[in-house]
Amino acid sequence: MIQHTNYPHFSDHLFINVMNTLKMQNHSPIDLLSEEADVVQWVSLMNENNLLTATQVERIKEGPIHLTDLQHFRDQCRAHFASDNHNLIDLLTHTTKETPLSFMMEEETMTPVPSKGGTKGLLAIMAYQMLTLEESGTLKKVKACENDECLAFFVNQKGKRKWCSMEVCGNRTKAKKHYHTKAKTSQNT
């Protein structure tokens, strides 16, 4: 059950969902994680959508939530995927060193469970998932929406996608281009 109202750019990947907690509204960026309560709500939403297990959420709830740590991680990930000038693997390796993971079987799947709760545990889970996706080549397919007024990221599976969603950003971009082309044509006549 995805709640699109608060998080309109929802993904099957936990780290993309945290990167998409920034959105544009009236030409200004809005941080959807501006309070610790927002992080708690976001973690619950990830659990409702099976991106975090109940065991992982229980462990996360055992420790303190440090909003600035999560925002810092998000911003470093966004900077990496916006331009490849940053070494994401160093960030991920450092994050998982701080909070080791153990694994347990849940519904016939190996689930990483952090040794510490709170933000450190959440970051360790995301870092592990991202390292796994790096190994499969998925991280190379993460792209930023080409709409200048959108802050969303997505996985570009086929390599042809330009926008986070055709229904929103794709249509807006195409309509803007059509409007400018039509205005230019009418000025020349």
> Which CATH number does the domain housing residue 163 bear?
1.10.3300.10
Whole-angstrom distance, CA of residue 144 vs CA of residue 165: 11
Torsion sign (Cα): 124, 73, 147, 131: negative
In a domain, 5, yes or no: no
Which residue range forms the structural domain that includes residue 104?
14-188
In a domain, 126, yes or no: yes
Q: What is the pLDDT of residues 45-94, one digit of tens each?
A: 999 999 999 999 999 999 999 999 999 999 999 988 887 655 777 778 77
Q: What is the pLDDT of residues 135-176, one digit of tens each?
A: 898 998 999 999 888 999 999 988 888 888 877 786 655 655
Q: What's the predicted TM-score (pTM) here? A: 0.83
In a domain, 1, yes or no: no
Number of domains the chain is built from: 1
